[in-house]
Every structure is written in structure tokens, then in C-alpha cells.
Amino acid sequence: MSEQETKDKRGRAAPRNQPFLEEIEAKPFWANLKEHRLTAQHCSSCSHFRFPPQALCPKCLSSEFEWAPLSGKGKIYSHVTYRRAWHPAYQDKVPYNVSLVELDEGLRMVSNVIDCEPEKVYIGMTVEVVYEDVGDYTLPKFRPVEKKA
Amino acid sequence: MANISGKYAIVGMGETAVGKRPEASTNSLHLEAIRACLKDAGIGSDQVDGLVTNQPLNDAHRSYAVKIAHMAGITPRFATDIALGGATPCAMVQTAVMAIESGMANTVVCVHARKRATPDPTPGHPIRSGDEHWEHPWGHFSAVANHAFAAQRHMYEYGTRSEDLGHIAVACRKHACLNKNAAMRKPLTIEDHQQSRMIVDPLHLLDCCLESDGGGAILVTSRERARDFPKRAVSILGMGQHHPHSTMLDAPSITTLGGKRSSELAYQMAGLSPKDMDFAQIYDCFTITLMITLEDYGFCKKGEGKDFVKGGRIEIGGELPVNTHGGLLSQAHIEGMLHITEAVKQLRGNEVEPERQVSNAQAGIVSGHGGSLCTHSTLILGRGVR
């Protein structure tokens, strides 16, 4: 893609849309995802789960933590449907969902609900993680959990 | 701690022409705003000893305040940049007050200008707005979407509908139509709002602010010194800030924001309450921001914003005129600096088109809101000095 195509009409560059896999605090998060494991920092001192990754626990300032596996289950806290693309890579994806997903462990992530029409996503919807491999990294996304009859 | 309510005042204000300014640069818009402000105050650059700026989004320039000061012929003994997104302009005025109260300055200019409607070829590195790398990989790029999250949640919790938000867009446009220095001056209807294209569902195009070129500046000094200036001074009666989270991920709520605590602090300092406000200039990057802030500021109960914005109650002549200049939605988006200049004009009297003057305006409130709905600042201003 030429440089010209990645600029918007006001001459501003299109933003980078790949994650930063080498970010010091986040490196294990992305490495675990590559193995299809969704993890988060779990404070060894006060048991608080935190996200995005950071060095100290924001609740107790402890630097002791483990990368704990998450259930991958959660509920939609809020959701939107993008009807225009901010980035050339999403031009043919609109309309698409972006959601704030509240995981059962209490932490919140920005992600996409897939395998579902954007119009059918609702606040409180139960979702579970799916792993989307994109080249050298893996993105956690979510799909609706079928309600048992 | 001593209450400093009314101890400091705004004695000058300036605005540039807004909208599309292809001939101007970000730097030149700052200078234009400062010149207009000093002319209004009847002083020269040599009488200014403090400058507060904001690093432009297109130029992460270190010590920007010092650069602009010297470009404007000011040799400051106090200079700083404030970076709180849309909460910046109110926080600039608060910072000026703190500088004067501490003895570090006497006469401080707060200036904010933006060049967002047309390109600025001036060299510079853009500033990133926050934890974008935890959003972009999932196709989440915009401030619109973060506010759409809040709108969706407000609709879910309180039954607010898109049409309700439309009343805010219509009121701001109505006021912009009366303002010669407003970018959008064609009247709007609720139908126009409803039929405007969806940008990030549930927010339509007409729920979104403009992108603008332009600037504004405010001159702050002490109550004693204020008497030497030619125009009626406007007292700084109340100030507050509150920043309850840093991203959408750690927000305790996205339908009650920093405005609640920030306004409580400002009302407390001023010894005033919502019913004492003759107008409100409320940060309106999106219609939902304005609705949430009206609720957080105590003008109505949480969830009742949808009724409060109807029936002309927030229009000039109504119960609480809001954004009498047209706001970010219809006048221009200078990140709220023009909410402050407009409040000053309303409180001086005889400075705006007569049709949009709030009659007998004695006190008004101004809000600033920024980031991922995470920063908030409040000013309460009053007519004259006591």
C-alpha cells in the first residue's frame, strides 16, 4: 500500500493497527496468546487482576504477580458498530462490532464479537474467547455462547 | 485553606475567526488569539509574565509555552503546557490562578489553538492520545466510538434514545445560527439528525463535533489589578477537576463521569448551586457528553437528561441556556477554549449578537472533558469583581 493511501483527507497518517509485541510489560501477554492462552497479571499480594499490563498493582502497588489463565468467559459491557472505516485495512470490514468485554475475573478488554451480526450484540450478552491468528501474533476475540435449551 | 473564590478574574479574551483557515498555521493561530486577547485587555506583551499553552496534536513540541511566549514577545517568569485533552482550557485558567496565588506570576495568558480542518505543513510530530495500542488491533480507532460506548450504555441504563440526543444537536445549531463566528449556520431539525449517516452506531454524524481551525485566549490576573483594565472583569468563583479513570477499561462507570465530583468541588468553592447558574457552556465533543455532563452537574437527575434537553429548556430564553455560541457541535472545535471566551462575553454583556445574549447573566458554569471520557475540569464564572 502506498504512503498516499494510508493518509486521510486532512493529510494525517493512518494509525498503526498491529499490537506492540515487544512492550516490556505486555510481552508475556502476547507470547501466551500465540499459544492460545488468554492470561492477565494476577496480583500475588491482593489478588487483583489487571489489564492492560503494568509493572505494579494499581490497588496495592505490589510488584509480585503471576500471569494467570483467564476463563475466557465474560459479558458485553457496551458495544458499538463501526459504519465507517478509520483505517484502510477496515474499509471492506464495515459494518463491524467493537465491544467492551467484561471478563468473569472482573477485567475489561476492547475486542470484537465475531460469528454474530453486529445488530444482534447486546449489553449483558455472554461471550467466550476465540483466538484469531494474524501472522506473527494472535488476537483474542469473542463469540456468543449459545444458551442451553 | 483559604477560599480563593473571586480573588482572581478574567480581564481579557480573544478569538480568531474559526472554520477552515488554510492560510494559517497552528502557531499563527496561537499568535492571532494572543494578539486579540491583549488588544481586548488594552495591554502589550511586556505586561504579561505568564503563559499557559497546550502542545498541539500535530506538534509534540517541547516547552511549547516558552516558544509561543517568545513568538508573541512575552518573556515569562511562569510557563507551562497543560495536557488534559478537552479538559485543558478550564485547567489552563485554574493553573493561571494557582501561579498568581503562589506569587509566581501576575498576569497570565492562557491560549489554545488548533488546526484540524485543513492541513498544517509546519514540521512536527503528532501526539498519541493514550493507550491506543490496546484498541487499534481490534479496529477501534476513534473518540466517536468511546463516546458511542457511553451512549449505548446510557440508552441501556436510562432508556435514552437517539432522538433525545438530537435535541442537543438542534439547540447548539440554533445558537450557532445566531453567531457570526460559527462554522455551521444552517438550521437543523430532529429529522436531519436522525437521517444523518451513522458513524459509529449509535452515534450519527450530527452527534459529532466539528474539526476546526482557530484559537482563543484568556487573560487572568488578580481582583485588585482587574480594576485597571478597560472592560468589565469576570470573576473566577469556582474551580474543580476530577479524573476518575484513565481508559475505558478501568472506568468505574461510563455514564457518570468526572464532571460529578469536579462540579461539586467548583460549586463548593463558589458557594453556589446549579440553580444559581444563568447559563452553562458544556463540552460537547458528542451530544452524549453534553447530556451526561448536565446530569453530573446536577441540572437534572441521572437519567433525566433526555427530558431536560427538550422543549427549548437548553436554548436561549429557556431554563438553562447551553452552549450559547453553538459549541463544538456547530460553532468550532477549539477543545473548549471558546466555551470560556463565550462565557466571558455573556457575563460582560453587550458583546454577543443581541439575539443570543442571556438576559441578566450573573453567573455561569463551563465544563471541560477529555481523553477516553477520563479527564474533567470545571469553572464557575461571575459578572464583575466583588
Q: Is residue A63 part of a domain?
A: yes
The residue range of the domain holding B319 is 8-119+208-383
Query: A2 pLDDT band (50/70/90 cuts)?
Result: very low
Q: Is residue B17 part of a domain?
A: yes
What are the chain A neighbours of B249 within 8 Å (beta carbons)?
A: 51-52, 100, 107-110
Interface list for chain B against chain A, based on CB atoms closer than 8 Å: 58, 116-119, 126, 131-142, 145, 148-150, 152-153, 156, 197-203, 211, 247-250, 254
pLDDT at A7: 64
User: CB B198 to CB A77 under 8 A?
Assistant: no
What are the chain B neighbours of A130 within 8 Å (beta carbons)?
A: none
Q: Is residue B161 part of a domain?
A: no
Which residue shows C-alpha cell 473548549?
B336
pLDDT digits 0-9 by tens, B294-343: 999 999 999 999 999 999 999 999 999 999 999 999 999 999 999 999 99
Q: Is residue A13 part of a domain?
A: no
Chains A & B: contacts with CB separation below 8 Å: 100
Query: Is a pLDDT exceeding 50 seen at residue A73?
Result: yes
Of the candidates B139, B198, B199, which has its C-beta nearest A90's C-beta? B139
User: CB B138 to CB A16 under 8 A?
Assistant: no
Residues A75 and A63 in one domain: no
Query: Is a pLDDT exceeding 90 seen at residue A67?
Result: yes
What are the chain A neighbours of B203 within 8 Å (beta carbons)?
A: 80
For chain A, give the mean pLDDT. 92
Residues A135 and A125 in one domain: yes
Residues A75 and A146 in one domain: yes
Residues A97 and A61 in one domain: no
Q: What average pLDDT score do residues B205-230 get?
A: 97
What are the chain A neighbours of B131 within 8 Å (beta carbons)?
A: 52
Q: How far is B247 from chain A (nearest CA, A)?
A: 10
pLDDT at B343: 98
- Tell me, what's the ipTM? 0.94
Q: Is residue A5 part of a domain?
A: no
Residues A86 and A97 in one domain: yes
Q: Is residue A12 part of a domain?
A: no
The residue range of the domain holding A53 is 20-69
Q: Is residue A1 part of a domain?
A: no
Query: Is a pLDDT exceeding 80 seen at residue A74?
Result: yes
Q: How many domains does chain B have?
A: 1
pLDDT digits 0-9 by tens, B276-291: 999 999 999 999 999 9
Provide the β-strand partners of residue A79. Answer: A99
Residues A96 and A137 in one domain: yes
Q: What average pLDDT score do residues A94-121 get?
A: 97
Cis omega (within 30 of 0) on the bond before A52?
Answer: yes
pLDDT digits 0-9 by tens, A13-53: 788 899 999 999 999 999 999 999 999 999 999 999 999 99
Nearest CA in chain A to B58: A12
Of the candidates B116, B117, B148, which has its C-beta nearest A80's C-beta? B148
Of the candidates A51, A112, A118, which has its C-beta nearest B249's C-beta? A51
User: CB B133 to CB A11 under 8 A?
Assistant: no
Query: B346 pLDDT band (50/70/90 cuts)?
Result: very high
State the best of A12, A94, A98, A125 to mutate against chain B, taking most chain B CBs within 10 Å: A98
* H runs (alpha helix) in chain A: 27-34
Query: B13 pLDDT band (50/70/90 cuts)?
Result: very high
For chain B, give the mean pLDDT. 97
Of the candidates A23, A80, A86, which has its C-beta nearest B201's C-beta? A80
pLDDT at B130: 77
Residues A55 and A76 in one domain: no
Q: How far is B57 from chain A (nearest CA, A)?
A: 11
Q: Is residue A10 part of a domain?
A: no
Q: What average pLDDT score do residues B216-233 get?
A: 97
Query: Is a pLDDT exceeding 50 seen at residue A9?
Result: yes
3-state secondary structure chain B: CCCCCCCEEEEEEEECCCECCCCCCHHHHHHHHHHHHHHHHCCCHHHCCEEEECCCCCCCCCCHHHHHHHHCCCCCCEEEECCCHHHHHHHHHHHHHHHHHHCCCCCEEEEEEEECCCCCCCCCCCCCCCCHHHCHHHCCCCHHHHHHHHHHHHHHHHCCCHHHHHHHHHHHHHHHCCCCCCCCCCCCCHHHHHHCCEEEECEEHHHECCCCEEEEEEEEEEHHHHCCCCCCCEEEEEEEECCCCCCCCCCCCCCCCCHHHHHHHHHHHHCCCHHHCCEEECCCCEHHHHHHHHHHCCCCCCCCHHHHCCCCCCCCCCCCCECCCCHHHHCCCCCCHHHHHHHHHHHHCCCCCHHHCCCCCCEEEEEEEECCCCEEEEEEEEEECC
Query: Is a pLDDT exceeding 50 seen at residue A4?
Result: no
Which pTM does this prediction carry? 0.96
Q: What is the CATH number of the domain that holds B34?
A: 3.40.47.10
Q: How far is B93 from chain A (nearest CA, A)?
A: 30
State the best of A16, A110, A130 to mutate against chain B, taking most chain B CBs within 10 Å: A110
Residues A91 and A53 in one domain: no
Q: Is residue B258 part of a domain?
A: yes
Of the candidates B133, B142, B148, which has its C-beta nearest A19's C-beta? B133
What are the chain A neighbours of B139 within 8 Å (beta carbons)?
A: 17, 82, 87, 90, 93, 96, 98, 112
Q: Is residue B176 part of a domain?
A: no
Q: How many domains does chain A have?
A: 2
User: CB A13 to CB B132 under 8 A?
Assistant: no
Query: Is a pLDDT exceeding 70 seen at residue A129?
Result: yes
Query: Is a pLDDT exceeding 70 seen at residue A136?
Result: yes
Is some CB atom of chain B closer than 8 A to the CB atom of A95? yes
Q: Is residue A99 part of a domain?
A: yes
Query: A6 pLDDT band (50/70/90 cuts)?
Result: low
SS3 A117: coil
pLDDT at A1: 37
User: CB A15 to CB B141 under 8 A?
Assistant: yes
pLDDT digits 0-9 by tens, B35-90: 999 999 999 999 999 999 999 999 889 999 999 999 999 999 999 999 999 999 99
DSSP annotation of A148 reads P
**CA–CA distance, B12 with B34 (Å, rounded to integer):** 10
Q: Is residue B114 part of a domain?
A: yes
Residues A144 and A90 in one domain: yes
CA distances to B1, B55, B62, B98, B379 from B104, rounded to whole Å, are 19, 22, 21, 9, 22
Residues A83 and A60 in one domain: no
Residues A56 and A101 in one domain: no
User: CB A98 to CB B140 under 8 A?
Assistant: yes
**Residue finishing a domain among A39, A69, A99:** A69
Residues A89 and A51 in one domain: no
Cell of B238: 469556582
Q: How far is A19 from chain B (nearest CA, A)?
A: 6
Q: What is the CATH number of the domain that holds A91?
A: 2.40.50.840
